[in-house]
Structure 1
């Protein structure tokens, strides 16, 4: 029996619901990490809109209150002994499907959440690095040999399978590169793209990412706009000076939305989930009050590590089903 069928079988018996209820008995801060909703970007499949809404309905059934992270933290700080049952929807990178698909669903259910846009992508109208690389590889003619001198590596691409391997290879390298190296790689890849497609790279931001006006609208609707770096680089792989530049520029971007915010707190999402004591120290110095990781855990509201808040993906085992989401909710606390 396939895993997906097995999970559906357990779900039909009511066993998944029973275990979830047993696991979620304590005071909880459940933070969910989303990217694209209802649309596919060029490097990964977005969460289907119907599944997204089904998961929200399930959490409502479990009596969760949905809040932006900054508000959730303020409430927990004000009433630390009270049992909390708070869910926070976070959306990294600010993809357009969040505005077009997630926002109407959340407003229908009276929910708000937290958006973590990459400041440089918004201000410079640049598509996410992974989106650009995925678009180029998908539209590249084969066979081709690409020598990436800055990475001291070569890519041999003969078919669609090789394209997927090349994409995975480059995405795994991204966290180790700073912005100049990333631009160098993208420029090299672009040489192997048909000339008539070059203008489409310039249009990728408009097609795939939210703009400043859309972010402002969501802020005015009560969504939190948090920090996610200026150029989405791995903060543990650059100098302390560059870390400060990335976080400070991100903070300036966030501050531009604070007049529309009901929160005084500012929160941050680590690009690629990478952080260390140095990064946390800079966040504290510059005035970020908390940060979210990519650790797949459910947080105890009365025992929070403010700069290491865990987040769950909206599915597990690569299965985009409500059953796999229920399995995610069984993650242990810290």
Structure 2
């Protein structure tokens, strides 16, 4: 899971960005090791009985829609014949649907179309990048469906894959994503994707600016992932409990019964 690819990212995105040099080295390592990149849709189709996956499959994803995906990542991917999936927050992209609030320089829709024409899968990542599990039912439906409809309008085909902003979801969120027409969705989790996770909770491994090449090699080999992200897992579990508590308090205060409490 990548975010920005940039030489000089803003402070708000620096930790989750990678330099163009690091990205080049990481893609060369994948090529040298014989990994075969697939899209999210391709992975899901194979697990649903479609054509089998290639030997050593790997899923390369980009969240949010930063301009560096077009400027820096696309030429490197093309040089190796690699594909990837880009999950865009439609309200953050430059153009007619822009809502503001983007943390760094974002793609324009012309660039998104060029990425799609180059073979990159374009997926949904909400409209304004909120914590989806904290929204009301109405807000949640808007964020997911609006994102899907805008991508459909701009690219001429509706996206089939989704990624949760911040990786946060709940059963209510996953059901909404499914109802909106997405066939699969990715979380974070910092673990290898497994069929047993189900199509709406597939996990990914975060690549950061601090991720060295040796660490990257261990991650794609599935080695020491738990050790590398042990601190993240503890914080994630604690924050998940806090978010559930916040939503419950908010819903009770408003005199409503949360959907998630009915179907936990």
Q: Normalising TM by the smaller chain, what interval?
A: 0.7 to 0.9
Contact 1:296 1:310 in 2 (8 A): yes
Contact 1:93 1:118 in 2 (8 A): yes
- Distance in 1 of aligned mates of 2:68 and 2:159: 26
The Cα offsets for residues 134-167 of structure 1, whole Å up to 9 and x where unpaired, read as: xxxxxxxxxxxxxxxxxxxxxxxxxxxxxxxxxx
The one of 1, 10, 13 equivalent to 1:44 is 13
Q: CA 1:126/1:94 → structure 2, altered by over 3 Å: closer, same or farther?
A: same
| More displaced 10-residue stretch of structure 1: 89-98 or 323-332 | 323-332
Structure 1 position 71 matched with structure 2 position 42: yes
CA displacement at 1:34 relative to structure 2: 0.6
Q: Runs of 5+ in structure 2 lacking a partner?
A: 227-264
Which residue does the alignment assign to 2:260? Answer: none
Which residue does the alignment assign to 1:222? Answer: 119
Q: CA 1:98/1:82 → structure 2, altered by over 3 Å: closer, same or farther?
A: closer
The Cα offsets for residues 71-95 of structure 1, whole Å up to 9 and x where unpaired, read as: 2322333358777532121111110
Which residue does the alignment assign to 2:238? Answer: none
The one of 153, 168, 187 equivalent to 1:274 is 168
Aligned residue runs from structure 1 range 149-298, under 5 A: 208-256=105-153, 259=156, 266-298=160-192
- Distance in 1 of aligned mates of 2:117 and 2:29: 27
Contact 1:219 1:257 in 2 (8 A): no
**Which structure's relative contact order is higher, taking Cα pairs within 8 Å and 6+ residues apart?**
1
CA RMSD of aligned residues (A): 2.3
Higher-Rg member (1/2):
1
The Cα offsets for residues 161-203 of structure 1, whole Å up to 9 and x where unpaired, read as: xxxxxxxxxxxxxxxxxxxxxxxxxxxxxxxxxxxxxxxxxxx
Contact 2:36 2:57 in 1 (8 A): yes
SS at match of 2:60: strand
- Distance in 1 of aligned mates of 2:172 and 2:200: 12
Instruction: State TM-score, norm by structure 2.
Output: 0.75
SS at match of 1:78: coil
Q: Runs of 5+ in structure 1 lacking a partner?
A: 1-32, 132-207
Structure 1 position 125 matched with structure 2 position 98: yes
Contact 1:91 1:116 in 2 (8 A): yes
Contact 1:313 1:328 in 2 (8 A): no
CA displacement at 1:127 relative to structure 2: 4.8
Aligned positions, number: 218
- Distance in 2 of aligned mates of 1:94 and 1:309: 20
- Distance in 1 of aligned mates of 2:207 and 2:4: 11
